[in-house]
Amino acid sequence: MSYLELPPMGDLRIDGTSSTPAIVCESQAGFLEMRGDSYPENSFEFFMPVLAWVEDFLCRCDRPLTVDLYLLYLNTSSVKAMMDIFDMLEESHQRGRQVSVNWYYDKENERVAELAAEFKEDCSFPFVISQNAG
Amino acid sequence: MELLDLYTLQQSYNQNGVMLCFNGPLTKSLIEEIGYALRSYMRNESPSRSIDVFAAYIEMTQNIRQYAASKGWTDNQTTATVVISHQDKEGRYAVSSGNVVEAYDGRQLVARVEALAEMDKSQLKSAYKEQLRKPRVEGTKTGAGLGLLNIARKASLPFTCSLRQLENGKAFFTLIAII
């Protein structure tokens, strides 16, 4: 599937709601950040612009991409969308691109760490899961 | 019109440890509002259990809405009965949902749930990962077919479910997950 029919984009900013994460994509910096819970009913629709941005970024330049995640609860359709993102990163990494994921979680919230660890199983690029400081 | 005996209803809720109960048309915003209440009721619970109960609630209710949407039912026809209770001596929660389905779909659903109930945690994980890797079905905007698998993975006990035959080829499907 291709997400490229959408217009090319520079930066992308999506404000968070109680059921969707805040998302920042910065093209120049090669940076993507997501914060919060993600359980929209229409996860695929919700993540479409982010999937498009990642595909666009990976195709149109060769700068490294750093993904910082402060995600908490994800419903299964959000999990699926995240896997699509990680698959694109993995494919790019296999072709020699520098990509990395940092997933931060609170110490008491071990479910988040377990979720992140399960994603990491399928990724060979640098994928660091660490406790939030403080 | 017969008056509802709310006291009897309240006694029954209390005996069954019902902390939250909903019956009626299930909208997207109601799922969020009830979920918000659920989270605040569980504020003193361990974050892991709280997130597992919340996840079971979200997957069940979103499944019900998605099923109704796949049938072309309106918001008003998308009704559900959702109960979250806490009575288990071991501190476990029961997340239960009931909804009207086509009898044929109901029988398939029961078979699927019973198959999941037979699986151990490692089989459930493999099945989950396999389902995650399946390409999206063209035309479905949302579901990933992962909801039931995910609940089964988090549950403390195997699923229980039942199907009650109704008129006009419909049936009432009940699913209970113990978290």
What is the domain partition of chain A in residue ranges? 12-131
Separation CA B66–CA B95 (nearest Å): 18
Q: Which of B31, B65, B146 sits opposite A79 (nearest CB)?
A: B146
**Could you tell me if B58 lies within 8 Å of chain A, comparing CB atoms?**
yes
Could you say which architecture CATH assigns to the domain A12-131?
Answer: 2-Layer Sandwich (3.30)
Partners of A73 on chain B (C-beta within 8 Å) are 51, 54-55
Its pTM stands at 0.92
Put simply, the answer to whether A76 touches B51 (Cβ < 8 Å) is no
- pLDDT tens digits, one per residue of A56-83: 999 999 999 999 999 999 999 999 999 9
Boundaries of every domain in chain B:
6-174
Q: Are A8 and A56 in contact (CB under 8 A)?
A: yes
Query: Which residue from A minimizes the CA distance to B140?
Result: A44
Q: Which of B31, B51, B65 sits opposite A111 (nearest CB)?
A: B51
More confident call, A126 vs A3 = A126
Identify the band that residue B17 occupies on the pLDDT scale cut at 50, 70 and 90: very high
**Diameter of chain B by CA atoms?**
54
**Could you tell me if B62 lies within 8 Å of chain A, comparing CB atoms?**
yes
**Could you tell me if B146 lies within 8 Å of chain A, comparing CB atoms?**
yes
Put simply, the answer to whether B142 touches A76 (Cβ < 8 Å) is no
What mean pLDDT value characterizes chain A? 92
State the average pLDDT over residues B159-173: 96
Query: Which residue from A minimizes the CA distance to B63?
Result: A41
- pLDDT tens digits, one per residue of B118-145: 999 999 999 999 999 888 765 554 455 7
Q: How far is CA A68 from CA A65, A73, A125, B56, B102, in A?
A: 10, 16, 14, 27, 44
Best mutation target among A71, A77, A115 (most B Cβ atoms within 10 Å) is A77
DSSP-based three-state secondary structure for B94: strand
Kindly state the tokens that stand for A101.
Answer: 């994921």
pLDDT value at residue B23: 96
Identify the band that residue B3 occupies on the pLDDT scale cut at 50, 70 and 90: confident
- pLDDT tens digits, one per residue of B139-153: 554 455 799 999 999
The 10 Å Cβ neighbour count of residue B86 is 18
- pLDDT tens digits, one per residue of B20-47: 999 999 999 999 999 999 999 999 999 9
pLDDT value at residue B172: 98
